[in-house]
Amino acid sequence: KAGVTQTPRYLIKTRGQQVTLSCSPISGHRSVSWYQQTPGQGLQFLFEYFSETQRNKGNFPGRFSGRQFSNSRSEMNVSTLELGDSALYLCASSFYGVDTEAFFGQGTRLTVV
């Protein structure tokens, strides 16, 4: 079956702009989590959505937001981009619950200039 699909793969934006990233989970998976990966901070949890509801949130400013649609596809939005937002953004989908593995997409590489 198809894996987790993230679009776009690469993105270049200017400071102050906003950006929307998309994640299509594996068919049947209802949980989608988002992560930011930078060389300095490693992999950091942003938020998790399940059945269109945000269930958990990491320690990121309000400029980072997300949503999930009825088909489980999820979008992540970053407003007022800063240079420090340059990172690899990963999403992961899982069926349900803490005892099921999560499958990651290839990520979206965002560069803010």
Partner 1 sequence: DAKTTQPPSMDCAEGRAANLPCNHSTISGNEYVYWYRQIHSQGPQYIIHGLKNNETNEMASLIITEDRKSSTLILPHATLRDTAVYYCIVRVDGTGGFKTIFGAGTRLFVKA
95: contact with partner 1 by CB under 8 A:
no
Query: Taking CB under 8 A as the rule, which mask of x and - marks residues 4-43 in contact with partner 1?
Result: x--------------------------x-x-x------xx
Location of structure tokens 């499958």: 103
Report, in Å, the least distance between residue 92 CB and partner 1: 8
DSSP tag of 25: P
Q: Which stretch binds partner 1 (CB under 8 A): 14-22, 60-68, 79-87, 89-97?
A: 89-97
64: contact with partner 1 by CB under 8 A:
no
Contacts of 113 (CB under 8 A, 6+ apart): 12, 13, 14, 15, 83
Please provide residue 41's backbone torsions phi and psi, each rounded to the nearest 5 degrees: -105, -10
The reply to whether omega before 8 is within 30° of 0 (cis) is yes
* DSSP SS3 for 53: strand
Residues near partner 1 (CB under 8 A) = 4, 31, 33, 35, 42-45, 48, 50, 55-56, 58-59, 90, 92, 97-99, 101-107
